């Protein structure tokens, strides 16, 4: 596993470097400290969602609800803030809403035996509906500076949201490689039957993993709300697809059992760098979409090609 | 049998990154013969046949069909040339009928381009009849047994006018009766002039069905012989290049105190009134035909499937085993029949597979101690001589025997003392089999108790201290090592006698 | 693997160069126009106006939009990236009246003047955030809505049942149009708004929502849609329910070419014409003024008018 995964990751990482090199040559504005921080900040939300998605996809599942869960957590948290709830508590409420939504996904999948695609597709609609219903369809806007600091403030010259992302990635990498939860995530995705026969409480771990994905949706909502100074019930539409793309570009197999957190970060950065670089170059919006699609397909082609070679 | 050469592969070479899979291999096939292809796992049999069936390209060498040099471009092209291959995993769509499967992709159509169902079914019936087997062409694949599915694969190949039929261990999933029927069909095909390449490990079959045999070892052809002119011992020597005693190692472990007792175990429609005891140091063989409930019994004891009645005592204590987790905590380890789909996580490493059920041992404050984990795993790799480049190798890259050792390590790592082996040596080559047997002996000498389910009677007879024979979900008979022989076991297995309960 | 990497990279390069439309006038300043989306004819017209003006004024122009109209976060990213690129003037049609404000502050900090087009920002948030814009260019949506309201009142002779299809809730544009419309029908005391629902600015939602309205309020006599796409959706819903042909008064907003065609055929009664082409043009003209150090007014109105079958421009 190590060899193929390293190779694959290495390839993705080289791809990211090549992309950076290309934009560096083409645009004088690309390789500046402020632009690189800008990219990191812009990537942070999708990157955080992708962490949960990576866990979920390694178990051979999928979470289509994450964009909607983000919106729902966001509006509940924002309403709490408007109701005068102290910031840390309001954030906990937002994270809690995300965690609960994710856990519902988990329960439907583990005990309800629903395919993850269906369960989270349903939750995608439910969470979005709840967000719209909760707010009457209107955004909840205007927060204190101390809350907005989470997205707009700098700590040691680096945006706070980038710090959050880095910390989430360090923790997630640690959990995935060095804890029981991480090891079981791989085992469940690689062969669920074998996992059960090896005594893993698969249902319980699925609940935790989908809950985790929802929790990170809530965290994404905190940053997005702080960044926009507004929680929109229509926020995060199709973010799940960006998160899936980042995860898959980063080498996580949709078949389950394989993937790394580091790879996902590279995947998210590839998408972020592409969007940024194409903007800097003034490439027409429609062409940007074509290029991003081509890169996703290219990355997966690379993956299948590598696997073929391995055989 | 005539001696016309229909196929000649000469000086074939095939390399994969880091491995020479085939080195200067020549292979000739005569019209209408059954040619056994023999070799340990990894000897190059599959690679050679994949080249012949167009799945792989060759790096060097030539292929002659009917004396003419031919390039086989891809599997479709191979089909056109009359080369059919039947893999161990069938390529059938379970939701379609037998007839639809046979003609998949080339259904007969009428003038309007609509599938001519009548013609489809009629032609399919003709082909099946021609094979001399009894299959309803209108049934769905999922509704017929594995033996019939295999016949459908054969029918499909013949409907493509196959002149060369490659069969990869066709008897592996079959019962003795089914094998007999398979052999009858093979003989009929050979008589008609179809040449069969038959890949197998099973010595007895080779002598029963083969005309000639080619032995591959480490990617080289080490000899082609007429079956009639070579005896078992020489054949094995040719294959492994060492004198290998096919007999079973002698059992010396002492049978100790009772460790497991099953009383009145029932599972509606599957198991009825199962009673037995298992002791430390003992190997309890469980024989029976396919579908007699052997694997189901193991699954029930291990807590995979729910039971409707009965009691299980472990170390004289009543145990409520409702999940594999519970079973593992009580010291059980289950080596499943199908390693790939139930025993191993193929995409994970040797290390990760071995420590899955005992992961808590390597945790310190919830954090994995890699060093200790690796030390333990390396210990097993060494003591069980698992052939792998390292603990981080994906198990998918290991041979069957080494995969089985990984599963075994998994349970050794848990300090399990009740092992359930379901078909412990299926798909494992001769050399590795002997190793697995000695490991079982080593285990029992340390006081471990083993339940061994097997379809191979010699294995049951050679390894068990005591054996239970199952028939239709219940235990039909119990035999001691001294009492038992193949005939007695078969009598119980087919329901001729009962001496139990 | 290397081959594939190369192939994908070269595809990327090709599309990048192919798509590069920058530096038409090397050395001249660059103006960026960021609209909500480029798959709406309104913004395509705005783009055309801006492009024509840019060519005349010898300015480089970059036009960008998010993939989805509602994705204000992505619009924000685009603007941040354009700030990185040091464009000289930013002209923005905000996807969110409040959400976009932090990035306006960022442009302010980088001394890039910001022109807001078409959609007003939330004044109080703008003020409390200490952000400022050079000018607002747009038609008065409220006034447009009022014109539509007056017209509906007139056509129904002062009494009747009316439905409203709203834009995305919380959007300033839609809210102003709706409030203007309500103001307009106030003149006629007998008009009753039976329902007011959102169709997210979308045509197919306009169809679905209005079809539902027809089920529950079969006696509705007029519908005001906050844009023409939703109005056209409503027209299709009417015709598929065999109630087309002008029996129910449909009034839209934007003077979309298909809406004008529908008015000519009698399927729609009226639309409010804004002039997005003019908006794009005026935005660029004022950008040029800002670049020359000239003063620009804080608000520049763009003409707005009601178009009915009688005032339909000759096609």
Model confidence pLDDT, tens digit, residues A95-127: 999 999 999 999 999 999 999 999 999 999 999
- Residues A39-67 have pLDDT tens digits of 999 999 999 999 999 999 999 999 999 99
- How large is the average pLDDT for residues B374-400? 89
Q: Exposure string (b/e) for A125-139, b if CB count within 10 Å is 16 or more?
A: ebbbebbbebbebeb
* A6/A2 Cα distance (integer angstroms): 6
**Of A235 and A298, the one with more pLDDT:** A235
Residue B146 three-state SS: helix
Strand order in the sheet with B332-335: B332-335, B418-422, B449-453, B283-288, B466-471, B474-480
Q: With contact defined as beta carbons under 8 Å apart, do C279 and C44 qualify?
A: no
Interfacial C residues in 73-102 facing A (CB < 8 Å): 73-74, 76-78, 80-82, 84-86, 96, 98-99, 101-102
The string of pLDDT tens digits covering residues B283-325 is: 999 998 777 899 999 999 999 999 999 999 999 999 999 999 9
Q: Do B259 and B280 form a contact (C-beta atoms < 8 A)?
A: yes
Residue B230 CA to residue A193 CA, distance in Å, equals 44
pLDDT on residue C190: 87
By the CB < 8 Å criterion, does C127 face chain A?
A: no
Under the banding of pLDDT at 50, 70 and 90, the label for residue C55 is very high
Reported ipTM: the value is: 0.85
Q: Which chain A residue's Cα is nearest to C71?
A: A235
Mean residue pLDDT across chain B? 87
Mean pLDDT score, C283-300: 93
Using pLDDT thresholds of 50, 70 and 90, give the confidence band for residue C21: very low
Chains that touch B (3 or more CB pairs under 8 A): A
Facing A197 at nearest CB: one of B17, B336, B360:
B336
CA distances for A153 relative to A10, A148, A161, B231, angstroms:
33, 7, 8, 83
**A79 and A275 Cβ atoms separated by less than 8 Å:** no
3-state helix, strand, coil in chain C (%, to 5): 45, 20, 35
Question: For residue A3, what pLDDT is reported?
Answer: 47
- The C-alpha angle with vertex C182 and arms to C179 and C183, in degrees rounded to 5, equals 85
Q: What is the pLDDT of residue C8?
A: 63
Please report which residue ranges of B2-145 form alpha helices under DSSP H: 45-52, 75-80, 98-102, 117-131
Give the phi and the psi of residue B500 in degrees, each rounded to 5.
Answer: -130, 155
Residue C28 exposed, middle or buried by CB count within 10 Å (0-12, 13-18, 19+): middle
Q: Does pTM surpass 0.90? A: no
Q: Which of these, A311, A306, A305, A270, lies nearest to A291 by C-alpha position?
A: A270
pLDDT for A303 beyond 90 = no
**C2–chain A Cβ distance below 8 A for any pair:** no
Closest partner residue to C20 among A137, A139, A283, by Cβ? Answer: A283
Residue of C nearest to A31 (CA): C84
Judge: A200–B325 Cβ closer than 8 Å, yes or no.
yes
A 32-71 residues with CB < 8 A to C: 32, 34-35, 38, 42, 45
Residue C188 dihedral angles phi and psi, to the nearest 5°: -105, 115
**How many C-beta neighbours within 10 Å does residue B127 have?**
19
CA–CA dist A13, A292 (Å, integer):
17
Minimal C-alpha gap between B2 and chain A (Å)? 38
Task: Answer whether A195 sits within 8 Å of B345, measured CB to CB.
Answer: yes
Chains A+B touching (3+ CB pairs under 8 Å): yes
Q: Tokens standing for B202? A: 């099973």
User: Which residue is listed with tokens 């060093």?
Assistant: B371
Instruction: Please answer whether residues C162 and C221 qualify as being in contact, where contact means their C-beta atoms are separated by less than 8 angstroms.
Output: yes
pLDDT for B2 beyond 50 = no
Closest CB to A294 among C12, C64, C170? C12
| C-alpha span between A267 and A138 (Å, rounded) | 33
- Cα(A158)–Cα(B145) distance, integer angstroms: 65
pLDDT at B451 over 90: yes
Alpha-carbon distance values, B378 to B25, B383, B406, B409 (Å): 36, 9, 11, 11
Q: How many angstroms separate the CA atoms of C295 and B373, rounded?
A: 73
Cα gap A193→A190, rounded to integer Å: 9
More reliable by pLDDT, B36 or A4 = B36
- For residue A37, what is the nearest residue in chain C, using CA coordinates? C84
Touching A: C residues 219-238, CB under 8 Å: none
B345–A257 CB contact, under 8 Å:
yes
Confidence class of residue B141 from pLDDT cuts 50, 70 and 90?
Answer: confident
Distance of CA A141 to the CA centre of its chain: 24
What is the C-alpha separation between B437 and B459, in angstroms, rounded? 9
First-to-last alpha carbon distance for chain B, in angstroms, is 53
Average pLDDT estimate for C274-293: 93
Average pLDDT over residues C159-183: 89
Strand order across the B5-16 sheet: B19-30, B5-16, B60-65, B68-69
Work out the minimum CA distance from A298 to partner chain C, whole angstroms: 6
Beta-carbon separation of C99 and A230 below 8 A? yes
Banded pLDDT at A291 (limits 50, 70, 90): confident
The DSSP bridge partners found for residue C117 are C137
Subunits close to A (at least 3 CB pairs below 8 A): B, C
Q: Decide if A292 touches C, using CB distance below 8 A.
A: no
Give, as one character, the DSSP assignment of residue B360.
G
Count of CB pairs separated by less than 8 Å, A with C: 156
Beta strands in B205-282 (DSSP E): 212-217, 220-226, 258-267, 271-279
Residue range A207-213: mean pLDDT, rounded: 97
Test mutation, B299, B332, B341, B356, chain A, max A CBs within 10 A? B356
Q: What pLDDT score was predicted for residue C67? A: 84
Is some CB atom of chain B closer than 8 A to the CB atom of A258?
yes
Q: Which residues contact residue B290 at a Cβ distance below 8 angstroms, ignoring those fewer than 6 apart?
A: B175, B455
Report the alpha-carbon distance of residue C51 to residue C63 in Å, rounded: 9
Contact B324 A198 (CB under 8 A): yes
**Residue B452 C-alpha, separation from nearest chain A C-alpha, in angstroms:** 17
**What span, in angstroms and rounded, lies between the C-alpha atoms of A247 and A52?**
10
Chain-chain contact of B325 with A199 (C-beta, under 8 angstroms): yes
The percent of residues in chain C predicted with pLDDT above 70, rounded, is 92
Our CA angle for B54, B56, B62, nearest 5°, is 75
CA B411-B418-B484 angle, to 5 degrees, is 120
Name the strand (E) or helix (H) holding B401. Answer: helix B400-413
Largest Cα span, chain B: 76
**Residue C273: what are its φ and ψ, rounded to 5°?**
-90, 120
pLDDT tens-digit profile of C60-92? 999 999 888 888 999 999 999 999 989 999 999
CB B278 within 8 A of CB B284: yes
How far C114 CA lies from chain A's nearest CA (Å)? 18
In this predicted model, what pLDDT tens digit does every residue of B264-284 receive, in sequence order?
A: 999 998 899 999 999 999 999
Task: Pick from A129, A226, A232 the residue to mutate for testing the C interface (most C CBs within 10 Å).
Answer: A232
If you search the block for the tokens 């009645």, which residue do you land on?
B309
The H-or-E segment that residue C264 falls in is helix C257-265
pLDDT at residue C17 greater than cutoff 70? no
Run of H or E including C174: helix C172-186
The CB density around residue B231, as the number of other CB atoms within 10 Å, is 11
| Partners of A311 in beta bridges | none
The string of pLDDT tens digits covering residues B221-253 is 988 999 888 887 788 778 766 544 456 777 777
pLDDT at B101 over 60: yes
Cβ neighbours of B344 in A, within 8 Å: 191, 194
* Contact check, Cβ <8 Å, A29/C86: yes
CA distance readout (Å), C186 to A252, C15, C158, C220, C269: 60, 54, 10, 18, 20
Q: How far apart are CA B277 and CA B262, in angstroms?
A: 6
- A180 to chain B, any CB pair closer than 8 A? The answer is yes
Question: Tokens representing B255?
Answer: 């049978």
């Amino acid at each position: 596993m190590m060899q193929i995964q390293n190779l694959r990751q290495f390839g993705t990482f080289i791809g990211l470097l090549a992309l950076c090199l290309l934009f560096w040559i083409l645009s004088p504005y690309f390789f500046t400290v402020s632009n690189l921080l800008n990219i990191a900040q812009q990537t942070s939300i999708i990157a955080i969602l992708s962490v949960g998605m990576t866990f979920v996809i390694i178990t051979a599942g999928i979470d289509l609800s994450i964009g909607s869960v983000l919106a729902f957590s966001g509006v509940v948290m924002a309403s709490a803030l408007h109701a005068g709830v102290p910031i840390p508590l309001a954030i906990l409420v937002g994270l809690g809403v995300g965690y609960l939504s994710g856990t519902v996904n988990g329960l439907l999948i583990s005990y309800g035996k629903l395919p993850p695609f269906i369960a989270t597709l349903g939750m995608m609609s439910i969470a979005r509906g709840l967000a719209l219903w909760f707010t009457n369809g209107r955004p909840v806007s205007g927060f204190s500076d101390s809350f907005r600091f989470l997205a707009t403030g700098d700590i040691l010259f680096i945006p706070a949201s980038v710090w959050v992302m880095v910390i989430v990635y360090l923790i997630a990498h640690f959990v995935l490689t060095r804890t029981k939860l991480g090891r079981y995530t791989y085992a469940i995705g690689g062969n669920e039957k074998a996992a059960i026969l090896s005594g893993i409480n698969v249902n319980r771990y699925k609940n935790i993993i989908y809950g985790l994905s929802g929790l990170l949706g809530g965290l994404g909502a905190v940053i997005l709300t702080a960044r926009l100074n507004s929680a929109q019930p229509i926020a995060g539409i199709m973010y799940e697809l960006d998160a899936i793309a980042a995860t898959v570009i980063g080498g996580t197999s949709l078949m389950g059992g394989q993937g790394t957190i580091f790879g996902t970060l590279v995947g998210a950065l590839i998408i972020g760098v592409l969007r940024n670089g194409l903007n800097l170059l003034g490439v027409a919006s429609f062409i940007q979409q074509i290029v991003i699609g081509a890169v996703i397909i290219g990355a997966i082609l690379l993956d299948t090609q590598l696997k073929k070679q391995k055989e | 049998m005539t001696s016309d050469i229909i196929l000649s592969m000469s000086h074939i070479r095939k390399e994969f990154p880091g491995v020479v899979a085939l080195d200067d291999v020549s292979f000739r096939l005569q019209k209408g013969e059954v040619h056994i292809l023999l070799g340990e796992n990894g000897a190059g049999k599959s690679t050679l046949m994949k080249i012949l069936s167009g799945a792989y390209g060759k790096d060097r060498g030539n292929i002659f069909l009917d004396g003419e040099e031919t390039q086989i471009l891809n599997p479709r092209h191979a089909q056109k040339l009359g080369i059919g291959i039947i893999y161990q995993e069938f390529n059938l769509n379970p939701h379609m009928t037998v007839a639809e499967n046979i003609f998949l992709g080339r259904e007969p159509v009428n003038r309007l381009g609509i599938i001519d169902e009548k013609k489809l079914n009629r032609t399919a019936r003709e082909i099946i009849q021609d094979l001399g087997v009894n299959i309803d062409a209108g049934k769905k694949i999922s509704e017929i047994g594995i033996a019939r599915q295999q016949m459908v694969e054969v029918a499909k190949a013949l409907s493509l006018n196959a002149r060369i039929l490659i069969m990869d261990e066709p008897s592996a999933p079959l019962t003795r009766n089914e094998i007999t029927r398979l052999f009858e069909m093979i003989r009929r095909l050979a008589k008609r002039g179809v040449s069969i390449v038959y890949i197998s490990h099973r010595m007895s079959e080779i002598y029963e069905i083969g005309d000639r045999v080619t032995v591959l070892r480490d990617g080289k052809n080490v000899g082609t012989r007429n079956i009639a002119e070579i005896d078992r011992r020489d054949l094995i020597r040719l294959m492994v290049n060492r004198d290998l005693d096919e007999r079973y190692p002698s059992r010396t472990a002492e049978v100790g105190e009772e460790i497991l007792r099953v009383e009145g175990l029932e599972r509606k429609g599957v198991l009825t009134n199962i009673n037995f005891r298992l002791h430390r140091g003992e190997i309890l063989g469980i024989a029976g035909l396919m579908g007699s409930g052997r694997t189901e019994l193991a699954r029930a004891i291990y807590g995979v499937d729910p039971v409707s009645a009965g009691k299980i005592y472990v170390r004289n204590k009543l145990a409520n085993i409702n999940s594999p987790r519970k079973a593992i905590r009580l010291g059980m380890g289950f080596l499943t029949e199908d390693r790939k789909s139930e025993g191993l996580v193929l995409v994970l490493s040797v290390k990760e597979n071995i420590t899955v059920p005992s992961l808590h041992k390597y945790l310190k404050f919830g954090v994995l101690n890699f060093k200790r984990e690796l030390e333990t795993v390396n210990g097993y790799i060494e003591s069980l001589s698992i052939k792998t480049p390292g603990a981080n190798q994906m198990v998918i890259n290991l041979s069957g025997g080494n995969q089985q050792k990984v599963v075994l390590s998994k349970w050794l790592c848990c300090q399990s003392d009740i092992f359930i082996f379901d078909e412990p040596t299926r798909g494992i080559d001769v050399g590795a089999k002997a190793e697995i047997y000695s490991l079982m002996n080593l285990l029992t000498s340390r006081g471990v108790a083993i339940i061994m389910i097997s379809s191979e009677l010699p294995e049951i007879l050679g390894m068990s201290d005591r054996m239970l024979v199952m028939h239709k979900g219940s235990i039909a008979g119990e035999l001691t090592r001294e009492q038992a022989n193949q005939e007695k076991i078969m009598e119980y297995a087919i329901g001729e006698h009962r001496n139990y309960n | 693997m290397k081959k594939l990497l190369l192939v994908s990279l070269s595809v990327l390069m090709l599309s990048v160069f192919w798509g590069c439309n920058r530096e038409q006038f090397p050395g001249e300043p660059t103006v960026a126009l960021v609209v909500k989306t480029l798959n709406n004819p309104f913004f395509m017209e705005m783009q055309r106006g801006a492009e024509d003006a840019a060519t005349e004024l010898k300015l480089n122009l970059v036009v960008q939009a998010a993939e989805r109209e509602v994705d204000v976060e992505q619009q924000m990213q685009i603007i941040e990236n354009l700030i990185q690129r040091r464009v000289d003037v930013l002209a923005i049609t905000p996807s969110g009246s409040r959400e976009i404000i932090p990035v306006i502050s960022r442009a302010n900090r980088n001394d890039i003047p910001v022109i807001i087009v078409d959609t007003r920002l939330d004044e109080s948030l703008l003020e409390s955030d200490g952000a400022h814009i050079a000018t607002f260019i747009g038609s008065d949506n409220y006034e447009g809505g009022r014109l539509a309201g007056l017209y509906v009142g007139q056509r129904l002779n002062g009494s009747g049942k009316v439905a409203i299809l709203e834009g995305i809730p919380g959007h300033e544009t839609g809210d102003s149009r709706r409030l203007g419309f309500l103001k307009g029908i106030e003149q006629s005391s007998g008009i009753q708004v039976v329902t007011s629902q959102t169709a997210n600015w979308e045509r197919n939602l306009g169809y679905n929502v209005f079809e539902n309205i027809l089920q529950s309020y079969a006696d509705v006599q007029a519908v005001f849609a906050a844009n023409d796409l939703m109005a056209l959706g409503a027209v299709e819903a009417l015709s598929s329910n065999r109630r087309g042909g002008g029996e129910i008064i449909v009034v839209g907003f934007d003077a979309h070419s298909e809406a004008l065609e529908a008015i000519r055929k009698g399927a729609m009664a009226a639309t409010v014409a804004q002039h997005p082409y003019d908006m794009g043009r005026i935005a660029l003209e004022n950008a040029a003024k800002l670049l020359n150090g000239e003063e620009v007014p804080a608000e520049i109105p763009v003409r707005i008018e009601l178009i009915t079958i009688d005032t339909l421009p000759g096609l």
